[in-house]
Structure 1
C-alpha cells in the first residue's frame, strides 16, 4: 500500500474521502504527509495535530492510517462480515472476502 493507493482502499471499506488528506495538511481531516525522514499521520483540527505518528516507511504509514480509520468503521458497525442469503432462503454468515480497489469482482 502506498500514498497513491490508500485513498482507494479507504473508499472501498466506506471511509468517506472528505475525512482524509493525502499529501497536504487540511483542517478536520486525517493527514498523510511525506517528510524528509519519511511520513507523518495525524488528525488536524484548529491548526493543531492530534494522534501524530511518524514513520520511515510509506507502506507502514499507509497501513497505520488505514487501520485507524477502518477500526473506526468496525466500531460503528459499518464494516464486518455481512449475512448472505443462502439458496434455501435463510440468512447465514458470509465468508470474508478481500476486495482490491479498481479490480473487477470475482466469484467464489
Structure 2
C-alpha cells in the first residue's frame, strides 16, 4: 500500500473507535489486488492473506477528516467498502472533476 492508502485506513480506524482494533487486525492482512482509475478517482481493490478474522460489522466506513490533495480544487471523498465482513476496496473520488489518481502530497484535516 502507498502512503495515501495507509493514511486513509488509519483515519477510518481512528474515526470509528468501536471498530478500531478489529479494523487494524484486518489492515495487517490486506494486500493490493489492483487499482482501477475511473477518471474522477480510484478503486483500490484488496485481497487477504488470512481469512480467519472477526467480520467487520458495517457495509462501508469513512473517516472524519477531509482529504486534501493540493493539486485538486476540492477535497477528495473516501470510504472503504465491506462485503461479508471483509474489506473489498477503498474508493476515492475527486469532488471537482477529472483526477487520474496522481498526488504530490496530501493532508487529512479535521
Name the one with the larger strand percent.
2
TM-score of Structure 1 vs Structure 2, range by shorter chain: under 0.3
Query: Of Structure 1 and Structure 2, which has the larger fraction of its residues in helix?
Result: 1
Q: Max radius of gyration: which structure?
A: 1
Q: Output the TM-score relative to the length of structure 1.
A: 0.27
